[in-house]
Amino acid sequence: MDKKYLSKLTVGGQQYDLKDAEARQSIADLQTSVTGGMHYIGETSTALTDGATTSTLVAKSANSLSKTTGFEAGDIVIYGELEFVWNGAKWQEFGSTGSLKALAFKDNATGDITCAGTNSASAVTFTGGSTETVLKAIDDAAVAPSFTEGAFDAGSLPSFTEGAFTPASLGTGFYSAGTAATYSHSGFSGGSLGSATTGNFATEGVTATVDESNELLTLGSASTSAAVTAQGTFTPASYGTDSFNGGTPTTIDVTKFNGGSKASDTFSAGTLPSKAADSFSAGSAATFTTETVVKSIGTGTAAAQTFSGSTVSVTVA
């Protein structure tokens, strides 16, 4: 009788992998990676890159590939100047001759080079020029004479203001009409019965199913129904309390009466006319700044330049 295994467990919709399944897969991967070692299978014209999962190759020339599909871990193939190995799932580049240039295959080489050098700076001399003095800027602009006449004040006329009169008043709070008596009742409660507490109880056992093809065991929750587990607290009715307010009588407060008043009169004699002093400014003349500039350059002569450096022959061995 064939053995049957469980590698996965599902509880409440969540799947769990058993540690034994992970160990078996690790062992299988290790067996695959060490079987057969590395072996050369030839050259291909199919373009390959590091990480490519190409499963079918085309031979570069007749009989240049021992297999074109069904590759095993450790198979080595050459594409152009690149070397690839199949790791069981993809091609991995592990060697290349493409970075080697022609000089890597020579014992010696000869060629001409130009040594680095510099041009020395040379001075330029000018002769036969002339200069001219011109206006550069106006430092201060001219100020014209000015005359300002003093202001005239015509003064003010005498004035009389009679004090304001305030009539008598009863004032706020002189009369209060009182309030009527009131009666009220509050605090009656009809009592209550607290809510019952319920709980869920299983009506059948835990369910379990097995999927042999996927080695999966699934545990399901049993169906439940509600039942009363505790009755709520009973609160009896209460009558509450009565209250009576006899109101307040009508009152008259004679201290709030105001007999009125009159403010003091005021008188102003006015002011005499007056005139401020006149002012006069004689102004000032403008001032300037001059500068000497080149009117003509004349003839310029540059000194000879000198280059430092030479061409040599170099032999590389």
Give the pLDDT of residue 248.
Answer: 78
Give the pLDDT of residue 87.
Answer: 92
pLDDT greater than 80 at residue 72? yes
Is 53 inside any structural domain?
yes
Range of weakest confidence among 30-44, 67-81, 156-170, 247-261? 247-261
**Which tens digit of pLDDT belongs to each residue from 281-306?**
878 887 878 888 777 777 878 777 77
Spatial separation of the C-alpha atoms in residues 251 and 42, rounded to whole Å: 124
Give the pLDDT of residue 242.
Answer: 72
pTM for this model (two decimals): 0.26
**Which tens digit of pLDDT belongs to each residue from 20-29?**
766 677 666 6
Is 26 inside any structural domain?
yes
Give the pLDDT of residue 253.
Answer: 67
- pLDDT grade for 254, boundaries at 50, 70 and 90: low
Spatial separation of the C-alpha atoms in residues 75 and 85, rounded to whole Å: 6
Per-residue burial over 140-152, b = 16 or more CB atoms within 10 Å of its CB, e = otherwise: eeeeeeeeeeeee
Q: What is the mean pLDDT of the chain?
A: 76
Is 39 inside any structural domain?
yes
Please give the average per-residue pLDDT across 45-54, as a whole number.
95
Is 25 inside any structural domain?
yes
pLDDT greater than 80 at residue 91? yes
Please give the average per-residue pLDDT across 117-129, as a whole number.
76
Is 297 inside any structural domain?
no
Is 90 inside any structural domain?
yes
Q: Which domain holds residue 50?
A: 8-108
Is 104 inside any structural domain?
yes
pLDDT greater than 60 at residue 203? no
Could you give the number of structural domains in the chain?
Answer: 1
pLDDT greater than 60 at residue 35? no
Give the pLDDT of residue 216.
Answer: 77
pLDDT greater than 60 at residue 219? yes
Strands 261-262 and 165-166: antiparallel
